[in-house]
Amino acid sequence: MSIVVRSTEDPKQLASSIRSALTSVDPDESLSSFQTMEEIVSRSAGWNRFNAFLLALFAVIALVLAAAGIYGLVSYTVVQRTRDIGIRLALGAQRSGVLLLILVEGMKLVAAGLVLGLVLPWFYLN
């Protein structure tokens, strides 16, 4: 059985008067535990907060891993095309044009990853 008391007073100070009022009504009943509404709400929301924290933590880890993977992939493609880039620069290509070429190639890989990352789960969930 639960008893809820609403008051403007400090809840911890009311515990003894509530116990005595309960004992005067029924001497066999006793107040086994006393909790404020803030404690009850905090305890009930605790698991939700913990789950939200874990979800945010895993999302940050996934974002860091994805960024490291994209960096590694773009770095690998640049290393593979080092000779091509050197020849282009030797033949008179502008540095900005070569940089744009590298960025476009990198964005193609990112776009392919995004498409696969969005389309494959769609088919998996349906």
Q: Region 83-90: what's the mean pLDDT? A: 91
Give me the amino acid identity at 68: A
Compute the distance between CA of residue 39 and CA of residue 36 in angstroms, rounded to an integer: 5
In the chain the first and final C-alpha atoms are separated, in Å, by: 46
Q: Please list the alpha-helical segments (H only) found in 1-126.
A: 11-25, 37-80, 82-90, 95-125
Exposed/middle/buried for residue 37 (C-beta within 10 Å: 0-12, 13-18, 19+): exposed
Q: Region 81-107: what's the mean pLDDT? A: 90
User: Could you tell me the pLDDT band of residue 11, with boundaries at 50, 70 and 90?
Assistant: confident
Tens of pLDDT, residue by residue over 19-54, are 788 788 877 777 777 788 888 888 888 888 899 999
- State yes or no: pLDDT of 106 exceeds 90: no
Query: pTM score, two decimals?
Result: 0.55
Q: Region 83-94: what's the mean pLDDT? A: 91
